[in-house]
Amino acid sequence: MSSADGFIAGTTKIVDGGPDALRYNIVILGDGYRAGDMSKYHADVQNFVTTLETTPPFGALWDALNIHRVDVVSTDSGADDPASCGDGSAGSGAAPKTYFDATFCGDGAIRRLLTCDSVSARNAALSEVPEAHVTMVIVNSAQYGGSGGPVATFSAHPSAVEIALHELGHTAFGLADEYEYYAGCGTGEAGHDHYGGGEPVEPNVTANANAGTIKWRPMLSAPAAALPTTVNADCAQCDPQANPRPANYVGAYAGARYHHCGAYRPSYNCRMRALNQQFCAVCRRAIRDTLIPYLPAVYQGLWWNAPAGSESGWGISFAHQEDVIFATWFTYNAAGKPWWLIMTAVKGAGDDYSGTLYETRGPAFDATPFDPALVTALAVGSGTLTFTDVDNGSFAYTVNGISQTKAITRQVFAAPVPRCTFGMESNLALATNVQDLWWAAPAGSESGWGISFAHQGDVIFATWFTYDQNGVPWWLIVTATLGAPNVYSGALYTTTGPAFSAVPFNPAQVAITAVGTATFTFADGNHASFAYTVNGVTQTKQITRQIFRPPGTLCR
């Protein structure tokens, strides 16, 4: 009944969000699976993984995760099931030889408490995956059971996945039990009337029900409402009252952390209080807070020279979807005329993205129709973007034989500055922030021009990449502010300035000229009309986001 009773056959990364050093690593091991049980083990693991992905908030954070499956072969099948247990239940008396020696009634008191040799399991996980953050063990038994602690253990019973999610809440995310009893409501249990300790460290329980200072104050459903939300009239037992508020209401409910009174939970129910419930809003936030640092960085938005303002007059916009950054660099040519170049930059080994820089030419902005077949692209060099964090990096390029490197930083012009996530939302129509690269709708109908939105607070800074009457690159800018709901408008400007290669680039030499107005009216987060007057020409274009790696990137 030890690691002599089997062997580790191998490890497979079954969910691959990226390098182990950059992601949150869940390592799943099996116990009580013989060599002939491996396909069942794989199915049991997959069942858990599928459930995890469909349990909010994990699906939206999936890119933060790596999940590693370690194939552990045991001599015998199943788990120990002692004939007697403190709760009076009768077990089969089975004592199979298994690698991590899993056993029901692991504490000698409760049959469903399924434990294993957690030290051995943790060591096995770390030897297979040195970057392991959390270790889970699936036990090959159809009997219901599980436990938390340093290793989350659960059986292959269909409902044991629920235990696994609850135990993951403890083991991985530092959540407390929100239930208000120890042995159970109605057991007459003593010593659980009043919580008498200090403020608990866990984010989802509190001894402080002061509405002004409660630890989940920003998440209260009704910040002005008095707390606590419920009071237990008889602290000798669990509070029997039904939820007086709507489901999912966040307040302070009496009874939590094994006590009938004196400790509070955020919502009436939660997976940390009872199985088959969703995680409450406060627990979901705690899970997000843990996992968000492991999401791949997304650089989408408007950038300019660093330090901020030092070379005001040129910039570079990024649409960042999965491993690709589509960059649009708006600057000036050797004659000081507006000039823009594009680059489809692909992720390299580190946080660097490289590609070929192109100048495109095409029909004038007001051509009707705008025929994308007339757009031509000429390679003029190459570029590499390297990032040190989500707001800082460098842009190295060679253009027409001139090689330079610029430090770049995110351009901040209003608050709040959104953060962007790839793949977090499959329906971008639901987005309330429109920061992205847009083009004519339907997608592809006027390929060759576009408009980049940087959206901060109630301000959209838009850069429109198009062509003048000679068909050469021309870009215009507008700082569009929110007027009527979903309508942003402002004056359109064209600028001239020092050549991209000028050293120094003197922002005082940038000249700005008003040429008209622009209005963006958003039907939803992915559809808008772009109405403009430029040098007396008035037109309206329907526009939509340019998605080159579905489902695209959402900023908020």
When the beta carbons of 23 and 260 are compared against Zn ion, the nearer one is 260
Return the residue matching tokens 């977090």.
Answer: 424
Nearest distance in Å: CB 165, Zn ion: 11
**What number of other Cβ atoms are within 10 A of residue 242's Cβ?**
8
Nearest to 156 by CA among 279, 51, 35: 51
Q: Pairing state of beta strands 301-305 and 24-31?
A: unpaired
Nearest distance in Å: CB 205, Zn ion: 9
Q: What type of residue sits at position 513? A: T
The two structure tokens encoding residue 469: 């009457």
First to last CA, the chain: 52
Q: Is 234 helix (H, G, I), strand (E, B) or coil?
A: coil
Nearest distance in Å: CB 166, Zn ion: 5
Nearest distance in Å: CB 159, Zn ion: 15
Nearest distance in Å: CB 40, Zn ion: 27
Nearest distance in Å: CB 182, Zn ion: 11
Determine the residue with CB nearest Zn ion.
Answer: 270
Nearest distance in Å: CB 136, Zn ion: 15
When the beta carbons of 238 and 302 are compared against Zn ion, the nearer one is 238
CA 152 to chain centroid, in Å, comes to 24
When the beta carbons of 256 and 528 are compared against Zn ion, the nearer one is 256
Nearest to 357 by CA among 343, 371, 345: 343
Instruction: HSE, CB side, 13 Å, CA atoms: give it for residue 411.
Output: 24
DSSP secondary structure of 142-176: SS--EE-SSEEEEESSTTHHHHHHHHHHHHTT-PP
When the beta carbons of 270 and 420 are compared against Zn ion, the nearer one is 270
When the beta carbons of 98 and 206 are compared against Zn ion, the nearer one is 206
| Residues making contact with Zn ion (CB under 5 A) | 177, 204, 270, 272, 280, 283
**Inter-residue contact 207 to 199 (CB < 8 Å):** yes
The two structure tokens encoding residue 202: 């866990």
When the beta carbons of 85 and 272 are compared against Zn ion, the nearer one is 272
When the beta carbons of 170 and 541 are compared against Zn ion, the nearer one is 170
Q: Is 123 helix (H, G, I), strand (E, B) or coil?
A: helix
